[in-house]
Amino acid sequence: MLWFIGLALTGPFAAVDAWATRRNAAVVIDGGWSGDYVRKACEQAKRFPDEETASRIRNSGCGAVAGCPEMMARQQACTSATDPKTQASQFEERLVREFAVAADCKGAAVARYGGPDAKPPSAAEQAIMSRSHWELSIDYVAGAARQRWSLQYLGENEVTQGESATVAQMASDVCALLFGQGAAPRR
Protein backbone atom coordinates (compact mmCIF):
# COMPACT_ATOMS: atom_id res chain seq x y z
CA MET A 1 0.00 0.00 0.00
CA LEU A 2 1.24 3.45 -0.82
CA TRP A 3 0.87 5.78 2.13
CA PHE A 4 1.48 9.45 1.89
CA ILE A 5 0.63 12.74 3.44
CA GLY A 6 0.52 15.44 0.83
CA LEU A 7 2.34 12.99 -1.44
CA ALA A 8 5.29 12.46 0.89
CA LEU A 9 5.71 8.86 -0.20
CA THR A 10 7.01 5.86 1.64
CA GLY A 11 6.42 3.49 -1.28
CA PRO A 12 7.46 3.49 -4.92
CA PHE A 13 5.59 6.05 -7.01
CA ALA A 14 6.55 4.26 -10.25
CA ALA A 15 3.86 1.67 -9.50
CA VAL A 16 1.20 4.41 -9.61
CA ASP A 17 2.63 5.63 -12.93
CA ALA A 18 2.15 2.17 -14.46
CA TRP A 19 -1.41 1.93 -13.12
CA ALA A 20 -2.39 5.31 -14.53
CA THR A 21 -1.68 4.20 -18.09
CA ARG A 22 -4.50 1.67 -17.93
CA ARG A 23 -6.94 3.44 -15.63
CA ASN A 24 -9.79 5.77 -16.43
CA ALA A 25 -9.26 9.34 -15.12
CA ALA A 26 -12.69 9.47 -13.52
CA VAL A 27 -13.22 9.95 -9.81
CA VAL A 28 -16.38 9.55 -7.75
CA ILE A 29 -16.45 11.41 -4.45
CA ASP A 30 -18.25 9.29 -1.85
CA GLY A 31 -20.38 11.88 -0.05
CA GLY A 32 -22.20 9.18 1.87
CA TRP A 33 -18.89 8.28 3.51
CA SER A 34 -17.92 11.85 4.40
CA GLY A 35 -21.39 12.57 5.78
CA ASP A 36 -21.26 9.54 8.07
CA TYR A 37 -17.66 10.27 9.04
CA VAL A 38 -18.35 13.87 10.06
CA ARG A 39 -21.35 12.78 12.11
CA LYS A 40 -19.21 10.32 14.09
CA ALA A 41 -16.34 12.82 14.43
CA CYS A 42 -18.78 15.41 15.81
CA GLU A 43 -20.19 12.93 18.31
CA GLN A 44 -16.62 12.43 19.56
CA ALA A 45 -15.88 16.18 19.64
CA LYS A 46 -19.08 16.91 21.57
CA ARG A 47 -17.95 14.50 24.31
CA PHE A 48 -14.71 16.49 24.75
CA PRO A 49 -13.57 17.26 27.38
CA ASP A 50 -14.22 14.68 30.07
CA GLU A 51 -14.26 15.87 33.72
CA GLU A 52 -10.52 15.32 34.31
CA THR A 53 -9.54 17.09 31.08
CA ALA A 54 -11.94 19.98 31.81
CA SER A 55 -10.28 20.41 35.22
CA ARG A 56 -6.80 20.52 33.61
CA ILE A 57 -8.07 23.08 31.07
CA ARG A 58 -9.49 25.27 33.85
CA ASN A 59 -6.24 25.05 35.82
CA SER A 60 -3.67 25.32 33.01
CA GLY A 61 -5.51 26.56 29.94
CA CYS A 62 -6.41 24.82 26.72
CA GLY A 63 -2.96 25.26 25.19
CA ALA A 64 -1.41 23.23 28.02
CA VAL A 65 -3.59 20.18 27.32
CA ALA A 66 -2.60 17.92 24.41
CA GLY A 67 -5.13 18.05 21.59
CA CYS A 68 -7.32 20.66 23.26
CA PRO A 69 -7.03 23.45 20.65
CA GLU A 70 -7.85 21.01 17.83
CA MET A 71 -10.76 19.42 19.69
CA MET A 72 -12.19 22.80 20.70
CA ALA A 73 -12.07 23.94 17.05
CA ARG A 74 -13.87 20.75 16.05
CA GLN A 75 -16.43 21.14 18.81
CA GLN A 76 -17.13 24.73 17.78
CA ALA A 77 -17.53 23.72 14.11
CA CYS A 78 -19.80 20.82 15.07
CA THR A 79 -22.10 23.05 17.09
CA SER A 80 -22.16 25.97 14.64
CA ALA A 81 -25.28 27.07 12.78
CA THR A 82 -24.27 24.95 9.76
CA ASP A 83 -25.00 21.25 10.12
CA PRO A 84 -21.79 19.14 9.96
CA LYS A 85 -23.11 17.01 7.08
CA THR A 86 -23.81 20.23 5.19
CA GLN A 87 -20.26 21.38 5.93
CA ALA A 88 -18.93 18.12 4.45
CA SER A 89 -21.15 18.54 1.40
CA GLN A 90 -19.98 22.14 0.92
CA PHE A 91 -16.36 20.96 1.12
CA GLU A 92 -17.09 18.39 -1.60
CA GLU A 93 -18.75 21.07 -3.77
CA ARG A 94 -15.63 23.24 -3.49
CA LEU A 95 -13.51 20.20 -4.36
CA VAL A 96 -15.58 19.47 -7.47
CA ARG A 97 -15.13 23.11 -8.57
CA GLU A 98 -11.39 22.82 -7.95
CA PHE A 99 -11.18 19.67 -10.09
CA ALA A 100 -12.88 21.64 -12.87
CA VAL A 101 -10.45 24.59 -12.80
CA ALA A 102 -7.13 23.05 -11.73
CA ALA A 103 -4.70 22.79 -14.64
CA ASP A 104 -3.28 19.49 -13.39
CA CYS A 105 -6.81 17.99 -13.32
CA LYS A 106 -7.61 18.77 -16.96
CA GLY A 107 -9.27 15.71 -18.46
CA ALA A 108 -10.52 14.26 -15.18
CA ALA A 109 -14.20 13.41 -14.90
CA VAL A 110 -15.76 13.96 -11.46
CA ALA A 111 -19.03 12.82 -9.93
CA ARG A 112 -20.46 12.80 -6.42
CA TYR A 113 -22.29 9.92 -4.82
CA GLY A 114 -24.39 11.14 -1.92
CA GLY A 115 -25.26 7.77 -0.45
CA PRO A 116 -28.39 5.65 -0.57
CA ASP A 117 -30.63 8.35 0.94
CA ALA A 118 -29.42 11.22 -1.26
CA LYS A 119 -31.02 12.56 -4.41
CA PRO A 120 -30.32 10.39 -7.44
CA PRO A 121 -27.19 11.26 -9.43
CA SER A 122 -27.55 13.27 -12.62
CA ALA A 123 -27.26 11.54 -15.99
CA ALA A 124 -23.67 12.82 -16.34
CA GLU A 125 -22.77 11.52 -12.87
CA GLN A 126 -24.47 8.21 -13.61
CA ALA A 127 -22.38 7.87 -16.80
CA ILE A 128 -19.16 8.41 -14.80
CA MET A 129 -20.24 5.94 -12.12
CA SER A 130 -21.16 3.28 -14.68
CA ARG A 131 -17.58 3.14 -16.06
CA SER A 132 -14.43 2.09 -14.26
CA HIS A 133 -13.41 4.88 -11.88
CA TRP A 134 -11.49 5.90 -8.82
CA GLU A 135 -13.37 6.28 -5.55
CA LEU A 136 -12.39 9.18 -3.29
CA SER A 137 -13.45 8.90 0.35
CA ILE A 138 -12.91 11.95 2.54
CA ASP A 139 -12.65 11.49 6.31
CA TYR A 140 -14.21 14.91 6.79
CA VAL A 141 -13.81 16.39 10.26
CA ALA A 142 -15.55 19.72 10.86
CA GLY A 143 -13.13 22.35 12.12
CA ALA A 144 -10.00 20.33 11.32
CA ALA A 145 -7.09 22.14 9.68
CA ARG A 146 -6.39 19.18 7.38
CA GLN A 147 -8.68 16.57 5.87
CA ARG A 148 -7.65 12.94 5.41
CA TRP A 149 -8.72 11.02 2.32
CA SER A 150 -8.28 7.70 0.56
CA LEU A 151 -8.33 6.89 -3.13
CA GLN A 152 -8.96 3.47 -4.63
CA TYR A 153 -9.49 2.29 -8.17
CA LEU A 154 -12.59 0.11 -7.96
CA GLY A 155 -11.94 -3.58 -8.31
CA GLU A 156 -8.36 -3.30 -7.04
CA ASN A 157 -6.94 -3.78 -3.57
CA GLU A 158 -4.50 -0.85 -3.47
CA VAL A 159 -5.68 2.11 -1.41
CA THR A 160 -3.71 5.35 -1.36
CA GLN A 161 -4.22 7.66 1.58
CA GLY A 162 -3.36 11.30 2.01
CA GLU A 163 -4.03 14.40 4.00
CA SER A 164 -4.58 17.86 2.55
CA ALA A 165 -4.86 21.32 4.07
CA THR A 166 -6.95 22.84 1.25
CA VAL A 167 -9.33 21.73 -1.48
CA ALA A 168 -6.76 22.93 -4.04
CA GLN A 169 -4.08 20.72 -2.49
CA MET A 170 -6.45 17.74 -2.34
CA ALA A 171 -7.43 18.13 -6.00
CA SER A 172 -3.78 18.46 -7.01
CA ASP A 173 -2.71 15.43 -4.98
CA VAL A 174 -5.56 13.27 -6.28
CA CYS A 175 -5.02 14.33 -9.90
CA ALA A 176 -1.31 13.52 -9.62
CA LEU A 177 -2.40 9.97 -8.85
CA LEU A 178 -5.14 9.87 -11.50
CA PHE A 179 -2.70 10.85 -14.22
CA GLY A 180 0.42 9.19 -12.80
CA GLN A 181 2.33 12.47 -12.97
CA GLY A 182 4.94 11.48 -10.43
CA ALA A 183 5.53 13.09 -7.09
CA ALA A 184 3.88 16.42 -6.43
CA PRO A 185 5.64 19.01 -4.29
CA ARG A 186 6.00 17.88 -0.68
CA ARG A 187 3.79 19.79 1.71
Residue-wise pLDDT for 12-56, tens only, equals 334 444 444 457 899 999 999 999 999 999 999 888 888 888 888
Is the pLDDT at 185 greater than 80? The verdict is: no
DSSP 8-state symbol, 20: H
Pairing between β-strand 134-139 and β-strand 26-30 as defined by DSSP bridges = parallel
Coil, helix or strand for 18?
helix
pLDDT reported for residue 27 = 96
Pairing between β-strand 159-164 and β-strand 4-5 as defined by DSSP bridges = unpaired
Mean pLDDT across the chain, nearest whole number?
84
Please give the residue that has the higher pLDDT: either 66 or 99.
99
Contact 138, 34 (CB under 8 A): yes
**CA count, 13 A, side-chain hemisphere, 108:** 31
Q: Where are the domains of the chain?
A: 4-37+84-178, 41-78
* pLDDT cut 70: percent of the chain above it: 84
